[in-house]
Amino acid sequence: MTDIPGERETLSLNYRITIPSVAILVALCIPLVIWQEESTETLNAIFAVIVNNIGSLYIWYSILMVAASLFFICTRYGSVVMGDPGRKPRFSWFEYLSIIVAMGIGSTIMRTGTVMWAPIAAAPPFGLEPQSLAAMATGNGYAMYLWSFQTFAIFSVGAPAVGYLLYVRKVKILRMSEVYRPLLGDRFTDGTGGIVIDILFMVAIIAGAATFLGLGTPIVTAIVSHITGWEATFGLTFVVTLVWIALFTASVLLGLEKGIKNLSTLNMYLAALLGVFILVAGPSGFILSFFAESLGSLFRDLPNYVLNTGTWPEEGSGSYDIARYTIFWWAYGATWSLLHSIFAAKISEGRTIRELLLAYLLAPLVLAWVATGILGGLGAGLQADGSLDVFGIVAESGQMAAIAEIVASVPFGLIAALVFTMLTMTFFATTLDSTTFTVSAYTDDNDMHKYDPAAKIRLFWSVVISVFALVLMKVGGLVPLEVTSGLLGLPIIFIQLGSVWAAKKMIDQDRAWETHTRKAAARI
C-alpha cells in the first residue's frame, strides 16, 4: 500500500503568494461594499461585452479540452503512472471515485438538476411551445449538457502535468507555476511570471469558493424556511452558513484521509438513498420516461449546444439566454480548472494518466445525469399532473423556493427535505474542504510529495474563505463576484493550455511511456 503522507506542523506559509492574493480580494470587495449597484452594473456590462465579442473563444476552449483529454487517454501517454508503478494507488477505486464525484459536481447539481428545466421551458429554444412536455424535456436535457464531457475535461486536463511533476519528477511544491518550468525555464518560473500565475490562481479560487458557498446557502435556507415557517432572512442564512463552515472546517482539519475521503463516501450513500427514495415515493413511471426523453433531447440538440454562440437562425425566445449561460458556464468552469488540476493530481498517486482522466470524465458525469434525470423528473412530474405550479413559483419566488416546494411535495416530504438538505450540505462541505485543502497545499512551502499541508494553514484558509463569503452575502456582492470569477477564466484558459503542452513535453523528455508504466515495473 502506498505510504500516506504525513503532516509537518512547521508553519511554512508562502507570504509572496498569500499577501498579494488576500490584498487583491480585499481591494475587490471595497468597491462592492461602497458602490454596490454601480459595481454590479459595470461588471455585468463588461461580461456582456466578452460574451458578445469573444464568447466563441470559450466554446472552442471547451471543445479543445475534450480533444486534449482524448489525446492523453488514447495514446501511450495515458499509460504513464503518477507515482511508483510497482505500488498500489493511495485510494481504492470506490474512495477515489467518491472523492472525484463529490469534488467534480458539488451541490450545484441540486440546483441545476432539480429546477434548471423550468426557466428554459418557460422560454424554450427551437420554436418549442412554452411550458410543454417537449420544452421541459429540452430544458432538462440542457441541464444534463452542463455536466457533460466538456465540463469535466476542463476540470481534469491540467492534472497530468501537476501529477507528473509531483509524483514522477518529485517536485516538492504543488503550484501551477512549476508546470511552466519545463516550458519557459527557471527564470520565468522563479521570477515575476511564476508569481503572477500563482496569484491569479489564488484570487480565482478563493473568490470562486466564497461565491460557491454564498450561492449554495439559499438552497438550504429555502428548505429550512419551508420546513420551519421561519422567514428566509439574512439571519437564517448566517446560521446556515455557520453550520456549513463548522462542517467543512472540521473536515479540513481532519485532512485528506479522515476528512475529505470519509465525507465523500458519505455523499455517495446519501445520494443513492435520496435517489431510490424519490423513485419509490415519487411519480416513478413519469420520472423514468422523462429521463429517457431528456437524454433523447440532449443527444438530438447536442450539436447546437456545443457550437451555439447565440447566433442560431431560429429566433426562439430562450435561445440567446442559453448561449450566454453556456459561455458563462465554461468561463466559470475555467476559474475552477486549476483547482481541480491540483486536487486531482494530489489524490491520484499511483493512478495512470488514463485512469485519472477517464475517472474524471465518466464518474461525475454519470451521477450528474442520473441526478438530473431523477430530480428534474420529479419537478416536471409535479408540474405535469397539476400537483405543483413550478413555473409559477419560479416566476414569483425564484428557483430556490421552487426547489424547497418540489422536495417537500413527495410523500414523507419532511424526511425527503431533511435528506436533501444533508446531501446538499455534505456536497458543499466536500467541495469547500477540497478547495481549502488544495489552496493550503498551494501556499505551503513544505514538501507536498511527503506531507499534506499543515493544519494551521488549512485553518487559516478556511477562515479566509468563510469571512469573504459572509461579508459578500451581507453586502449583496455575490452576483458581481460571480461575474468577476467568470472573467478570471479568460487568462486561465491560456495557463491551462500551457499545462497540457508541459505534460506532453515532460513525458517525451523522460520517455516515461517506456520506463514509468505498470508493464515496465512488472518486467523489473
Give tens-digit pLDDT for 306-335: 876 554 444 444 454 787 788 878 887 887
At residue 80, does pLDDT exceed 70? yes
pLDDT score of 457 = 80
Q: Are 383 and 95 in contact (CB under 8 A)?
A: no
Cα(295)–Cα(285) distance, rounded to whole angstroms? 16
Task: Give the residues across from 156 on adjacent strands.
Answer: none
Of 510 and 457, the one with more pLDDT:
510
Mean pLDDT value across residues 412-417: 78
Q: Using one digit for the tens of pLDDT, what is the confidence trace for 10-36?
A: 557 788 888 998 888 888 777 777 776
Structural domains of the chain, ranges and CATH numbers in brackets: 15-124+132-304+324-446+455-522 (1.20.1740)
Mean pLDDT value across residues 70-81: 96
Task: Give the residues across from 352 on adjacent strands.
Answer: 81
pTM, full prediction = 0.84
Query: Side chain identity at 64, as an amino acid letter?
Result: L
Mean pLDDT value across residues 293-317: 74
Cα(472)–Cα(481) distance, rounded to whole angstroms? 8
pLDDT score of 314 = 47
Q: Using one digit for the tens of pLDDT, what is the confidence trace for 240-280?
A: 777 767 766 666 566 555 555 566 677 677 778 888 888 88
Q: What residue has cell string 484558459? A: 493
Long-range own/partner contacts, residues 227-233 (CB < 8 A, 24 or more apart): 227/408, 227/414, 227/417, 227/418
Name the strand (E) or helix (H) holding 451.
strand 451-452
Report the share of the chain in percent with pLDDT over 70.
81
Q: Using one digit for the tens of pLDDT, what is the confidence trace for 426-452?
A: 777 667 777 777 788 778 777 655 666
pLDDT score of 393 = 92
At residue 4, does pLDDT exceed 60? no
Lowest mean pLDDT among 23-32, 184-193, 286-295, 440-449: 440-449
Q: Is 78 helix (H, G, I), strand (E, B) or coil?
A: helix
pLDDT score of 518 = 87
Lowest mean pLDDT among 173-182, 226-235, 358-367: 226-235
Average pLDDT score over the chain:
81
8-state DSSP, 398? -
Mean pLDDT value across residues 165-183: 86
